[in-house]
């Protein structure tokens, strides 16, 4: 069941497949570094769009050059498979960059990491 709270062992195992994510204070969380304020806002809006499409909403904290994402399944007050699915989708989109052989050149400065 997607709303089943995961065991500590399962959470630890899942986190090993998500570099940069950690468990803290009952949430899985990650801080993304951005090139600056405009990119912080773009990333926050992108995460909000993905979350609304998935109907699974993270808590976000914004700074000048960072976005911190905290995930927990609110209705059960715990970590579920939904949180890890959302984390993977956020990583997939937030960290995407054109391939080296792509006609897309990519952002010329340090991108989101």
Helix (H) or strand (E) holding 82: helix 81-94
Cβ atoms < 10 Å from Cβ of 84: 20
Angle (CA) 77-94-33 rounded to 5° is 90
Question: Tens of pLDDT along 15-35?
Answer: 999 999 999 999 999 999 999
Q: At what angle do helices 81-94 and 37-54 cross, to 10 degrees?
A: 140
Question: Tens of pLDDT along 53-98?
Answer: 999 999 999 999 999 999 999 999 999 999 999 999 999 999 999 9
- What is the set of domains in the chain, with CATH numbers? 8-85 (3.30.1360.20)
């Amino acid at each position: 069941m997607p709303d089943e709270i995961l065991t500590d062992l399962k959470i630890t195992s899942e986190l090993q497949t998500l570099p940069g994510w950690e468990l803290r204070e009952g949430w899985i969380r990650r801080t993304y570094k951005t090139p600056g304020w405009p990119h912080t806002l773009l990333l926050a809006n992108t995460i909000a769009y993905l979350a609304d499409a998935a109907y699974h909403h993270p808590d976000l904290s914004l700074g000048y050059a960072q976005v911190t994402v905290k995930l927990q399944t609110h209705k059960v007050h715990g970590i579920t498979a939904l949180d890890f699915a959302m984390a993977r989708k956020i990583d997939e989109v937030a960290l995407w960059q054109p391939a080296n052989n792509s006609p897309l050149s990519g952002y010329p400065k340090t991108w989101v990491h």
